[in-house]
Amino acid sequence: LPVFAAVVLLRLPFVEYGQLPFFGFTLFTLRLDSLSFVFALIFHIAAFLTALYAWHVRDTVQQVAALIYGGAAIGAVLAGDLITLFVFWELTAISSVFLILARGTERAFRASMRYLIIQVSSGLLLLAGALVHYYQTGSLAFDFIGLESAGGWLILLAFGIKCAFPLLHTWLVDAYPEATVTGGLILSAYTTKTAVYTLIRGYAGWEVLIVVGCVMTLYGII
């Protein structure tokens, strides 16, 4: 399935697809350009490699959750508007939690519930930010957002949680070790990388992100 999807991706020209009317808005559910193409292609490769790595695991729920999780991450990086991004943002959270639950222990269950609450809260912040951003700018397009509005700050907080910014990262170190071996590998492939993409798309040129990235690297190593 990832190989088939990658072939389709490679054959598509760079343009916006999937125009969808939504309560008076026009959503662009698939926007393919040079930036989204790179991340989508990497995620397709990751989906293939993780599926191959986990081939020996006879756990249908975990296998299906992994495919939905990877597909949701690809959908998020191809989203052309903030509402579509929100839908796939939450789908990554709901599908990935099953990779933690698959461990079957009490610790895994408790960690997965904490993980789900934080990830869904990130999505709600994204939705709130999108609505405020629309009220202030009249646009739901997922392009450069910036920090000139309250909506921009709410969206940045949502992205920061999913990217595991320092002090917003506790969900990662809490939940990932409780996943199965294959689940932990799959979890490491998408969530924070999807957030990195959204930061590049929405906050390009904001140099504080360089400092945050350096702190994240050093903090994680230490």
In the predicted structure, residue 24 carries a pLDDT above the cut 80: no
199-210: burial string, b at 16+ Cβ within 10 Å, e else: bebbbeebeebe
Rounded to 10 degrees, the C-alpha dihedral 198/202/205/211 comes to -50
Q: For residue range 68-79, list pLDDT tens digits in order.
A: 999 999 999 999
Q: For residue range 45-67, list pLDDT tens digits in order.
A: 999 999 898 888 888 889 999 99
In the predicted structure, residue 8 carries a pLDDT above the cut 80: yes
pTM of the model: 0.91
Q: For residue range 84-111, list pLDDT tens digits in order.
A: 999 999 999 999 999 999 998 999 999 9
Strand 25-31 with 16-22, pairing: antiparallel
* pLDDT at residue 27, as a whole number: 86
Q: How confident is the model at residue 23 (pLDDT cuts 50, 70, 90)?
A: confident
* pLDDT at residue 57, as a whole number: 84
Spatial CB neighbours of 102, under 8 Å, sequence gap ≥ 6: 59, 61, 62, 65, 108, 179, 180, 183
20-34, 104-118, 129-143, range with the lowest pLDDT: 20-34
- Residue pair 167/92 in contact (Cβ under 8 Å)? The answer is no
* pLDDT at residue 160, as a whole number: 94
209 or 220, greater pLDDT? 209
DSSP class of residue 168? Answer: S
In the predicted structure, residue 127 carries a pLDDT above the cut 90: yes
Q: How confident is the model at residue 156 (pLDDT cuts 50, 70, 90)?
A: very high
Q: For residue range 159-172, list pLDDT tens digits in order.
A: 999 998 988 888 98
